[in-house]
């Protein structure tokens, strides 16, 4: 069956116009693999490998990467060496190739010695077309030398992201491959993976010492998926999800919730309206299985899941994927929205977020990546003799949670080696600190990228495609996201421009008319020195101008204190420059659509919370600017009661800690807490004056006071 009809016209067009068209690979494809056509990009990749070029191939799972080394293997003749990290994967591919009649052998730890020896002999005799090898084999003395005795004609490295510590699945055994490859050359190397951001790609190429590499980064665009990103206050997201999913056309759906508890609460709420259930790792395996089955067979319309969901799920007709919180990385986000519309029919991915989400991630980041000094204390206390972790804790006077986290990180960076008896020794990587700092920087970068994605004014799909490294494909807007097609949005609401909007818009265009691009933060201050409109409103307005093709917004970064800080520049497009002259501006402006007040209480809430300025070059994104103090307003009775209780608690706490009360929280902060009465840590983090350190220490106590009233 031919699954990519699109490949046909492309294929023939090329052959017609190239006078010296290289011999078609199609007959070989049909004869050897029984496929009647190539899938997108397969042929170009095969050709590069056949020509002896090193290849780095990044395409999503299921795109058909294996064929891209298998066909060149046959075309080049000789033996192709395939390095593959998972025994199951290796067995599966070897069996498939053997079934097609190829001569295949494999060597891994799950086989007996005689079979492995036979495989080596067959390899040396040159009777194999494919030899599959697990990477740890390279550690076996004599094995790489044996391979080098008879050079392979092609080397394929599957799941190549495992070689990079920036990939999500780093395998130290993969790391050593680079050392052994030179002795197996001059065979071309083809590295294959489904997940590699440009950083990981570079790392793979460097680690494997790839020569002039042909990079093929393809297939990340999803043609039938309209992405919407919408700012919604946390407290109203459940209701909003319900509104969206009430339309039966938008189901079946998957809703991603940040915690198990939230998944359960929302599932319960939704199940009053249509068949819905929660799915997360905390459920009994039996329950999970039954939810999964019911979702697959259509008994359940909606599954509310934590990230744990979906590893094995392949339901083709999911119409909507909703995120009720900001995901931790674009990689995770892309994978999750990828579950929508596998049948090819139009589908939507709706991401709800607010600034509090970012603070929540910051909070977890600080908890999960302790100061390197804490790791250093543990490292110095360790030696070659095992020490008991409990006694280490009392010796270092470190809190249990901090010690656990710091030890975990130190271990990951190679500075510690804990064992199963609760003891640990010093690890062999004396340079653990560099590695740790890099790891935490990467994590920070992932969070920054995610935040930038939701804040940016550009085609959502193009942004994702660009993130995964397909720069060329990223030039093409998708035509269906909240940026490209505001009129088709389901979640993001828009309104026509008012007279006032038009006035503001003209002011922006005028300020840009000098022709140079400007940082949007500076532009905002210049055009709206008295904050006539909010910063968010201003960004929305720029977004509308960009959608109308009058302004171009460029995402860029600068380095400050070792951190990469994102900001944006805006400039006029040709159309924007000529708008006034062409008299088209009236039309353009009246036709423009602005993000309307975000659903429900977003506005009121935003007024009270903090506004940060992530785009203005002079202001690092972690600097928070309090917008409006709330301390002079009279309190509602419940708030007053809550404030009273908080004061009592603060007094007790200050006695316990031997600190003055205002060291715990100032009066203004207490009042702000009383007004918001946060019930969860994430709500608490939206209150002005609450940093993650305080939330960590006092959050549980405060939330329980606030929940009590
Ligand atoms: P990946 O490694 O990219 O995840 P695979 O190489 O395992 O994907 O291929 C996924 C499926 O697609 C396999 O069942 C494979 O047989 C099939 N496939 C690959 N190329 C073609 C093709 N040109 N025509 C039809 N099916 C193909
Ligand atoms: Mg594969
Ligand atoms: Zn788009």
Helix (H) or strand (E) holding 433: helix 432-455
Q: How far is CA 211 from the centre of its chain?
A: 29
Protein residues placing their CB within 5 Å of the ion ligand 2 = 65
The structure tokens 């209150």 sit at: 687
Below-50 pLDDT ranges, the chain: 1-20, 311, 597-631
Angle formed at CA 525 by CA 521 and CA 530, multiple of 5 degrees: 140
Burial of 572 (0-12, 13-18, 19+ CB in 10 A): buried
Res 582: pLDDT: 56
| CA-192 nearest atom, ligand 1 | 2
Whether the CB-CB separation of 277 and 303 falls below 8 Å is answered with yes
Res 581: pLDDT: 65
Res 168: pLDDT: 63
CA of 188 to the centre of ligand 1 (A): 22
Mutate to test the pocket of ligand 1, among 58, 64, 90 (most ligand atoms within 8 A of CB): 64
φ/ψ of 19, rounded to 5, equals: -65, -45
Res 312: pLDDT: 53
CA of 49 to the centre of ligand 3 (A): 34
Res 253: pLDDT: 97
Res 406: pLDDT: 94
Res 620: pLDDT: 33
CA of 522 to the centre of ligand 1 (A): 50
Res 526: pLDDT: 92
At 578, list the tokens.
Answer: 């000529």
State how far the alpha carbon of 19 is from the alpha carbons of 16, 23, 547, in Å: 7, 11, 42
């Amino acid at each position: 069956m031919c699954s990519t009809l699109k490949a046909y016209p492309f294929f023939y067009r090329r052959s017609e116009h190239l006078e010296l068209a290289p011999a078609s690979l199609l007959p070989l494809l049909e004869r050897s693999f029984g496929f009647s056509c190539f899938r997108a990009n397969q042929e170009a990749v095969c050709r590069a490998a056949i020509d002896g070029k090193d290849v780095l191939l990044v395409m999503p799972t299921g795109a058909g990467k294996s064929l891209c080394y298998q066909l060149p293997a046959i075309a080049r003749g000789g033996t192709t060496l395939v390095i593959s990290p998972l025994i199951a994967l290796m067995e599966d591919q070897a069996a498939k190739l053997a079934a097609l009649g190829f001569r295949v052998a494999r060597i891994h730890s799950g086989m007996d010695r005689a079979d492995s020896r036979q495989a080596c002999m067959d390899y040396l005799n040159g009777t194999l077309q494919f030899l599959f090898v697990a990477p740890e084999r390279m550690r076996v003395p004599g094995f790489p030398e044996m391979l080098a005795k008879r050079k392979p004609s092609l080397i394929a490295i599957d799941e190549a992201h495992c070689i990079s510590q920036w990939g999500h699945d780093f395998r130290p055994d993969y790391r050593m491959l680079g050392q052994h490859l030179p002795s197996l050359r001059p065979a071309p190397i083809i590295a294959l993976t489904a997940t590699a951001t440009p950083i990981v790609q570079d790392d793979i190429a460097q680690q494997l010492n790839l020569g002039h590499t042909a990079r093929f980064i393809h297939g990340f665009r999803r043609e039938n998926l309209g992405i919407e990103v919408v700012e919604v206050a946390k407290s109203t997201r459940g209701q909003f999800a319900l509104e969206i999913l009430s339309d039966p056309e938008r189901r079946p759906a998957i809703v991603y919730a940040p915690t198990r508890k939230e998944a359960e609460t929302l599932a319960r709420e939704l199940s009053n309206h249509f068949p819905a259930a929660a799915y997360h790792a905390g459920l009994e395996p039996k329950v999970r299985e039954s939810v999964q089955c019911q979702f697959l067979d259509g008994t359940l319309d909606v599954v509310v899941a934590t990230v744990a969901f979906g590893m094995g799920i392949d339901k083709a007709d999911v119409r909507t994927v909703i995120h009720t919180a900001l995901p931790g990385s674009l990689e995770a986000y892309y994978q999750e929205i990828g579950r929508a519309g596998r049948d090819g029919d139009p589908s939507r991915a709706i991401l709800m977020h607010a600034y509090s989400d970012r603070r929540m991630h910051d909070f977890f980041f600080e908890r999960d990546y302790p100061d390197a000094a804490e790791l250093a204390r543990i490292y110095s206390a360790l030696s070659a003799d095992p020490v008991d972790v409990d006694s280490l804790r009392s010796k270092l006077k470190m809190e249990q949670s901090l010690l656990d986290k710091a030890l975990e990180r130190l271990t990951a960076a190679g500075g510690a080696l804990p064992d199963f008896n609760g003891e640990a020794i010093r690890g062999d990587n004396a340079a653990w600190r560099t590695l740790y700092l890099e790891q935490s920087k990467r994590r920070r970068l992932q969070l920054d990228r995610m935040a930038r994605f939701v804040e940016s004014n550009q085609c959502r799909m193009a942004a994702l495609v660009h993130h995964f490294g397909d720069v060329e494909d990223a030039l093409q807007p998708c035509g269906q996201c909240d940026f490209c097609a505001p009129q088709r949005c389901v979640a993001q609401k828009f309104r026509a421009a008012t007279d006032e909007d038009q006035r503001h818009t003209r002011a922006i265009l005028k300020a840009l008319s000098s022709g140079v691009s400007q940082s949007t933060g500076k532009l905002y201050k210049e055009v709206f020195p008295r904050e006539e409109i909010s910063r968010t409103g201003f960004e929305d307005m720029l977004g509308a101008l960009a959608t109308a093709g009058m302004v171009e917004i460029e995402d860029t970064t600068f380095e400050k204190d070792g951190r990469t800080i994102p900001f944006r520049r805006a400039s006029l497009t040709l159309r924007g420059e000529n708008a006034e002259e062409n008299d088209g501006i009236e039309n353009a402006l009246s036709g423009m659509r602005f993000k309307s007040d975000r659903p429900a209480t977003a506005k009121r809430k935003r007024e009270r919370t903090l506004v940060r300025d992530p785009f203005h070059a002079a202001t690092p994104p972690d600097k928070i600017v309090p917008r409006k103090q709330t301390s002079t307003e009279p309190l509602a009775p419940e708030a007053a009661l809550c404030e009273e209780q908080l004061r009592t608690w603060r007094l007790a706490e200050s006695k316990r800690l031997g600190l003055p009360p205002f060291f715990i929280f100032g009066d203004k902060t207490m009042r702000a807490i009383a007004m918001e009465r946060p019930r969860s840590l994430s709500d608490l983090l939206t209150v002005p004056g609450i940093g993650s350190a305080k939330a960590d220490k006092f959050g549980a106590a405060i939330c329980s006071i606030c929940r009590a009233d």
